[in-house]
Amino acid sequence: MKLAIVNGLVCDPVAETLTPGGVWIAEGKIVATGSPPPDFTPQRELDARGGVIAPGLIDLSVCLREPGFEAKGTIASETRAAAAGGVTTVCALPETQPVADTPAVIELIRERAEHAARARVVPVGALTCGLGGERLSEMHALGEAGCRAVGNAGRPLANPLVWRRALEYAATYGLTVFVRPQDPWLAAGGCAHEGEVATRLGLPGIPASAETVAVAQILALVADSGARVHFSCLSTARAAAMIGAAATDGLPVSCDVAAHQLHLTEQALEGFDASVHLAPPLRTLADRDGLRRALAEGTVTAVCSDHRPHEEDAKLDVFAATEPGAAGLETLLPLVLALVDEGVLTLPRALARLTMGPAGVLGLEGGRLQPGAPADVIVIDTEARWPIDADHWYSRGRNTPFWGQTLKGKVRYTLVDGRIVHPG
């Protein structure tokens, strides 16, 4: 199909510009931006008047819950939520049942994603068999099955020697290793940031050093192995600074932060709201502001949702006994756009952290609007306000700290390979 998106502001996340114009699409590819190509007659035209035309968002941290945890979400339900949130590519984490540690499970995920046909799904394979932390997975086979990255989903490895061998093995096959940095012994038993608020509420704490110690250990091993490592979902300003310094020194490392960490702090724990039981935990105001600076300066190159949908029962217990995590695919864009209103980022730079930045981590084709690229495109109404409620929510998990609030910035259209997947 030939399709034209016209009358919008076209975002170029590379040049960080917004230019009046449109995007022209044929056979699933972008054929022109700005001005229409000669002799192009679209079969359908989308009016983006008052909106921004941008690349589809790429989310590096998503639990689709299928196979194994369909009570929390399915590939169909969560990729539907992704489309509504403007996310055209999701990196599916290996925390499934069975664990995504074999080509058979990876193929199952890919087949169901293709059947749902709402978003691209890039599986992240398990670093160790069963995420058990001891025996390395068959990374070569996982790569052949379509994985661009492997990770252990925050589960600990037996010891630093296993980590070193895992990084060396991944480097052999050109796979990026996703690391959620948290020392398991320092964090053991904790459910909140170790600080004044947790102490007053009587919640067991996780010190900031649980993250920085883990980062330091992996950086030392990266220097030995040369493996590409992406640190996921940072919560401390100190960890971001350490990774930034390592990258400046030439190590092949990058990092992201979950959108909720850029807004919420440990103060949100007041009232024991289980929706803010998160992993890693919400930290201090100084950490939040430090992560914002790292994002603006480019040390943090991507923002993810760390989407973790839960069934209602998972959050119905005393705070420490509830399951951690928030559903975030549909709030990812408005939370990042809020940083534009607060003067942290320009609009093009904010969109770059959701598109070009994450694409660069895995060498994906998407993340920019240019002729010849896949037509993964969104149209955003940046001024639209919408309530986070059952009438406007697609994920099976409603466990978000922002439930009942009104956020600004809504996706009008989402296209994958030139097909309109939202609305519809």
Average pLDDT estimate for 16-40: 95
Q: Around Cβ 6, how many Cβ atoms within 10 Å? A: 16
Of 40, 69, 50, 25, the closest CA to residue 310 belongs to 69
Contact 180, 232 (CB under 8 A): yes
Vertex 329, ends 219 and 368: CA angle to 5°?
A: 70
CA gap 22, 408 in Å, rounded: 23
- Structure tokens, 399: 């466990």
- Structure tokens, 151: 């990770």
Beta-sheet strands, E only, within 105-224: 120-126, 149-151, 176-179, 192-193, 205-206
pLDDT by residue (tens digit) across 252-283?
A: 999 999 999 999 999 999 999 999 999 999 99
- The β-bridge relationship of strands 149-151 and 120-126 is parallel
User: Does residue 206 surpass a pLDDT of 90?
Assistant: yes
CA gap 119, 76 in Å, rounded: 10
CA gap 169, 267 in Å, rounded: 42
Rounded to two decimals, the pTM is 0.98
Q: Pick the catalytic residue: 256, 306, 376, 381?
A: 306
Residue-level pLDDT at 222 = 97
Residue-level pLDDT at 120 = 97
Q: Around Cβ 133, how many Cβ atoms within 10 Å? A: 18
Residue-level pLDDT at 218 = 98
Residue-level pLDDT at 382 = 96
pLDDT by residue (tens digit) across 232-247?
A: 999 999 999 999 999 9
CA 329 to chain centre: 8
Average pLDDT estimate for 106-123: 97
Contact 354, 57 (CB under 8 A): yes
Q: Give residue 170's pLDDT band: very low, low, confident or very high (50, 70, 90).
A: very high
Per DSSP, the residues of 36-71 read: PPTT---SEEEE-TTSEEEEPEEEEEE---TTT-TT
Average pLDDT estimate for 322-348: 98
306 catalytic? Reply is: yes
| Mean pLDDT of the residues in the chain | 97
Residue-level pLDDT at 346 = 97
Of 7, 123, 107, 119, the closest CA to residue 417 belongs to 119
What's at 295, amino acid-wise?
L
pLDDT by residue (tens digit) across 285-325?
A: 999 999 999 999 999 999 999 999 999 999 999 999 999 99
Residue-level pLDDT at 20 = 97
Average pLDDT estimate for 211-222: 98
Look at the alpha carbons of 108, 376, 393, 289 in this order and tell me if their dihedral is positive or negative: positive
Q: Give residue 195's pLDDT band: very low, low, confident or very high (50, 70, 90).
A: very high
User: Does residue 424 surpass a pLDDT of 80?
Assistant: no
pLDDT by residue (tens digit) across 400-418?
A: 999 999 999 999 999 999 9
Residue-level pLDDT at 379 = 98
Contact 137, 128 (CB under 8 A): yes
Average pLDDT estimate for 202-228: 97
Contact 152, 214 (CB under 8 A): no
CA gap 128, 100 in Å, rounded: 10
CA gap 181, 215 in Å, rounded: 6
Average pLDDT estimate for 111-117: 97
Residue-level pLDDT at 349 = 98
